[in-house]
């Protein structure tokens, strides 16, 4: 009986150790509900520190201009962060992938024209 308890304890320890050591590869797939905690309002400075800026999307201008807004959209920032971790891409590429997915979900083609068959354009 003691061997079974020892074996189960050892196996649980090894399992948790493996999960802990490989957490970077699977943590982005774990859903974290929004109701667990509420984050304090962020600013553009904290988003710069978290890597949500680039040469093409420069948030430093907002900080230097003393922009009073609370920062980027939380839901979009969360999705872009997941894409950055999951695909191991930079901020610009993750933002591009996010917008392509969002356009596809909203029914907008890659050329920027809605895919609605009833759409009429006068140009």
Given a cut of 80, is residue 59 above it in pLDDT?
no
24 burial type by CB count under 10 A (0-12 exposed, 13-18 middle, 19+ buried): exposed
Does any domain span residue 8?
A: no
Does any domain span residue 114?
A: no
Residue 114 — φ and ψ, nearest 5°? -60, 145
97 burial type by CB count under 10 A (0-12 exposed, 13-18 middle, 19+ buried): middle
Does any domain span residue 58?
A: yes
- Number of domains, the chain: 1
Does any domain span residue 70?
A: yes
pLDDT of 32 reads 74
pLDDT of 18 reads 94
Q: Which of 69, 102, 55 shows the shortest CA–CA distance to 83?
A: 102
State the residue range of the domain holding 73.
24-106
Q: Is the entire prediction scored with pTM above 0.75?
A: no
Does any domain span residue 45?
A: yes
């Amino acid at each position: 009986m003691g061997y079974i308890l020892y074996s189960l304890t050892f196996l649980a320890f090894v399992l948790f150790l493996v999960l802990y050591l490989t957490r970077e590869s699977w943590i982005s797939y774990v859903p974290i509900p929004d109701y667990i905690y509420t984050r304090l309002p962020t600013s553009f400075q904290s988003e710069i520190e978290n890597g949500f800026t680039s040469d093409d999307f420069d948030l430093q201008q907002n900080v230097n201009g003393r922009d009073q807004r609370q920062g980027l959209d939380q839901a979009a920032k969360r999705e872009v962060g997941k894409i950055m971790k999951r695909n191991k891409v930079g901020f610009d590429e993750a933002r591009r992938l996010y917008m392509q997915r969002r356009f596809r979900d909203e029914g907008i083609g890659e050329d920027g024209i809605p895919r609605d068959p009833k759409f009429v354009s006068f140009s």
